[in-house]
Structure 1
């Protein structure tokens, strides 16, 4: 009996102990649960709430519409077209990619080129980066795919703005092109703090105006706040900040003049730049041959790239900006003006011209062996007497000529609003010391100044520099910065501003000396080497023909028919018109074209005839008056005071001539100049 009671007591104690343990365990669990709830609801509330909100809300960048580019008359040169594209994101693709492409090809057309380009980019891209499969889908293809989109996870149909250049090859070197944002572009954007403004944007300016004016053209990215499902499907829009479209750019180019000038170079290599002397506005900017910038918008295909890159005519090189040439006798008016300003010769001083000039036992001859007899500066420019300028070069100090010529822009960066401009070579003693490493090659010889004085030797200038120098000469020494963007137009308000106003400086020139050179250039056109090209013109032009050697003759006689076509002389011409009130200045080169008078001057005549047509002139004046009234300023912009310093270090002007340069770059110095006879 006693044992039974003892056993029952122990059992009750065990049950109570178990009950207490179970209750304690339950209490601990409740406390842990309460603590966890307190931690999540109180301590982690802000963080978890934000994460939950992010799961529900997504921020989508809204890229802005890129600004248009138009010519001075409103003709569209670069625009945006609505386009449908198919992109593929690797992380979302569930089937074999080749099978996906095969099935997709039943709905939309996929060429072999599309598939090859896509597969190359697909293998190189990250898992979450969308890769372009096909662009320019028409409305039928886009709607057909949209109906069957559920069958193709990872393949997305998108609407976008795509850049388009309706003029194709015309003015391509001015406009440049846009292309996909590369890793290098991303680094540059991050370094400059602009990456946030490019979220959602896939292209950026790569060349030309598209690149140099990228900030104005791009605009400001907007933001869209969307409520989405757990799978990322949009439910509704919560808020939106609209993007600000890029500014429209009005270029100073006249596309009619541009295309007319380009047509003159059909099948020929060369360059032409036309400038309005009083404003510095570039009216035409030709680099021939050209290319179609539309090829680069979505990435150029291999075949097209190879065709452009391997062409011996180098269509991708911007010749007026990057190609450097000896400019031959077109340099003579500037050398003559330098001699007058330095007091080395008077305009009426006669110099004997027996057909050659002799220095240190070496004879420098006139082109074609011509003999002009006693010649003053006026006649020397009109008939292009090499002997006169050879003798002038023997009297000149090359450094003094350098300092004078650089004021006109020779051997200087003009600062035009395009990328890739070259300085060229305006020779001086300091330049030669830097250009050559061996001490015996660093000495400057007087015979080298003789060649430089006729536009040969070490001279290597861009066509833009020659055109700018011609414009400064026509504008009485007033230096206006050359520029292509005439007005920047706000797309929202329609208001505009001019990026360039007023001269940079004025060269101090004696009016009498300037008149001597101008009258000689007038007679070049009236009765000199360019008389045939300008016969019957209803205006009076002033100009100078030039023919520049591509390689040194070393005393041999030049025969065009006996040398390779790409080694023949370059034909050059520079001019402005009309003389009494210059409205246009032109410089052009036809590579390996031969005589400047017969090849280059007629092109300038065609350009002048178009621009100086009375009806077009009256229309331009009327438009200019309307612009001034709209801006509330009937007067011309005020001139910018002061003169900026020219480059203080002439040793930075260029490199030593290369032994075998390409046809559009610096050419080997010759031992004389060639010029056509009157």
Structure 2
């Protein structure tokens, strides 16, 4: 008799289906639980953290650098001004791949190794979302290339800013000095709040001495931006305070005349107003073009200046050490008057030479070689200064003694 074989077991299949359904529901509930826990974490536990981060991405506090004060000579001739220039900068937090972005930028505009070095140096000191300069003085063609490719360069910014310019080049190089990029040592020494958004500082000369008043005060603005860093609107603005303009005693006509008088010779000329004490001219030749230093001088240009036999970077008017010669005589005359050792009417015999008491050696006056005698039979202080009489000041020096002379020098 044939046996009947069951092809299906409805009860078994029902149990399997129910088990699978329970497992599926459990998995779905578990995943939903994970989502809910994460949602709770984002919306409740970490709400303040992410809200602050979101606001930081959307609203930024941007520094507004002040315009540096101008420098004029006593006749109102402009000696140092500011000219608009376009700067290429990068906001690190908005750049997905910094190395790739830098490669793409180098393919679009020339970027020197020194610029890259300064960029990475500044990158280490920056604040979050602060634009770090990469290239200064972009040309119109370079700006156009960057504008065309802006869509694929998130975090790359091109801004206009005023940069220092010296219209007379090397004429006032050692008097006015120059500004340059802030280096690592200066960044550590300067007050960061006073120099946010500022890349330059006075290095030498008038630019350094009057840095505090030429620099001005930094302003700030709160801006709302999109995900690409483009500013949508300004929420709040505090305008920067420009630096103070300086009018110096320097006179460009006297300065130029001094340079022309020196010609190709190495030397120095300082002209001082005897009434006010103001410096009318300060020349050291040869000089150099101070504009080379504003944005960081190239290695080639710096090597040429440093290695020159004429040493143009050496300020002969300030740093040079020379015998004072007869320029010290008026000071010694003042010392004699103030100490009461002489009066304006005091006279000294002048045969053209001087001899110390008890010494047979004769110390000649310069005029003896020309006239064969002294300036006059007797010389007072006025004549001694006017004709640079050595004999008078030999005698005065003996009376003053070395200690009193030292007090006046």
TM superposition shift of 1:164: 0.5
The aligned counterpart of 1:78 is 80
After the TM superposition, which residues 615-634 of structure 1 pair with which residues of structure 2 at under 5 Å, given as runs? Answer: none
1:262 to 2:266 alignment: no
Q: Does residue 209 of structure 2 align to residue 212 of structure 1?
A: yes
Written as runs of structure 1 = structure 2, the 5 A alignment for 1:164-313 is 164-189=165-190, 194-268=191-265, 269-275=267-273, 277=275, 279-313=276-310
1:396 aligned counterpart, secondary structure: helix
1:364 match: 363
- Quick check: 1:309–1:316 contact (8 Å CA) kept in 2? yes
**Secondary structure in 1 aligned to 2:253?**
helix
Deviations 1:393-445 (A, max 9, x none): 33332212233x2xxxx3xxxxxxxxxxxxxxxxxxxxxxxxxxxxxxxxxxx
1:205, 1:214 within 8 Å by CA — same for their partners in 2? yes
2:144 is aligned to 143
Match of 2:120 among 119, 126, 147: 126
Gaps in structure 2 of 5+ consecutive residues? 1-10, 124-131
1:601-659 CA-partner distances (Å, limit 9, x unpaired): xxxxxxxxxxxxxxxxxxxxxxxxxxxxxxxxxxxxxxxxxxxxxxxxxxxxxxxxxxx
1:82 Cα offset (Å): 1.1
Q: 1:40 aligns with which of 32, 39, 42?
A: 42
Give, in whole Å, the separation in 1 of the partners of 2:19 and 2:364. 127
Match of 1:402 in 2: 406
Say if 1:351 and 1:96 are closer, same or farther in 2 by CA, change over 3 A.
Answer: closer
What SS is found at the alignment partner of 1:285?
strand
SS at match of 2:378: coil
1:82–1:11 distance in 2 versus 1, CA, 3 Å: closer
- Does the CA contact (< 8 Å) of 1:276 and 1:282 recur in 2? no
Quote the Cα distance in structure 2 between the aligned partners of 1:34 and 1:100: 44
CA distance in 1, matches of 2:31, 2:301: 72
Q: Which residue of structure 1 lines up, in the alignment, with residue 66 of structure 2?
A: 64
Contact 1:176 1:210 in 2 (8 A): yes
In the alignment, which residue of structure 2 is the partner of 1:94?
100
Q: Equivalent residue for 1:393? A: 397
Deviation at 1:381, TM superposition (A): 4.2
Distance of aligned partners of 1:48 and 1:73 in 2 relative to their CA distance in 1, 3 Å threshold: same
Give, in angstroms, the shift of residue 267 of structure 1.
2.5
The answer as to whether partners of 2:87 and 2:133 remain within 8 angstroms in 1 is no
Question: 2:5 is matched with which residue?
Answer: none
1:34-70, Cα deviation, whole Å (9 max, x unpaired): 5554443333322221112223333332222222112
Q: Following TM superposition, by how much is the alpha carbon of 1:259 offset from its aligned partner in structure 2, in angstroms?
A: 2.6
- The answer for the alignment partner of 1:333 in structure 2 is 330
CA distance in 1, matches of 2:236, 2:52: 17
Deviations 1:427-473 (A, max 9, x none): xxxxxxxxxxxxxxxxxxxxxxxxxxxxxxxxxxxxxxxxxxxxxxx
Aligned length: 380
Deviation string, structure 1 residues 217-261 (Cα, Å, up to 9, x no partner): 222223333333334344444433332222222223233333333
Give 5+ residue unaligned stretches, structure 1. 1-8, 411-678
Q: CA deviation at 1:195?
A: 0.5
Shift of 1:294: 0.7
**Deviation for aligned residue 1:306:** 2.8
**8 Å Cα contact 2:177/2:204 also seen in 1:** yes
Distance 1:160 1:377, change over 3 A: same
Counting only pairs closer than 5 Å after superposition, residues 519-534 of structure 1 correspond to structure 2 as: none
Q: Which structure 2 residues correspond to residues 21-40 of structure 1 after superposition, within 5 A? A: 36-40=38-42
Distance 1:24 1:75 in 2: 85
Contact residue 155 and residue 229 of structure 2 kept, 8 A: no
- The alignment yields a C-alpha RMSD, in angstroms, of 4.0
| Distance in 1 between residues matched to 2:174 and 2:136, nearest whole Å | 27
| TM-score between both structures, scaled by the size of structure 1 | 0.48
State the alpha-carbon separation in 2 of the partners of residues 19 and 153 from structure 1: 49
> Does the Cα contact within 8 Å between 2:87 and 2:137 map onto a contact in 1?
yes
- Does the CA-based 8 Å contact 1:93-1:153 persist in structure 2? no
Distance in 1 (CA, whole Å) between partners of 2:350 and 2:78 is 57
The alpha carbon displacement at 1:81 in A equals 0.8
Change (3 A) 1:124 1:205: closer
- Tell me: CA distance 1:349–1:160, structure 2 relative to 1, closer, same or farther (3 Å): closer
Q: Is the 8 A contact 1:375 1:388 kept in 2?
A: no
Match of 2:272, SS? strand
Structure 2: how far apart are the matches of 1:23 and 1:149? 49
Q: CA deviation at 1:144?
A: 5.1
Distance 1:242 1:381, change over 3 A: closer
Relative to the length of structure 2, the TM-score reads: 0.75
Equivalent position of 1:353 in the other structure: 351
Q: Conserved in 1, the CA contact under 8 Å of 2:282 and 2:317?
A: yes
| Secondary structure of 2:349's aligned partner | coil
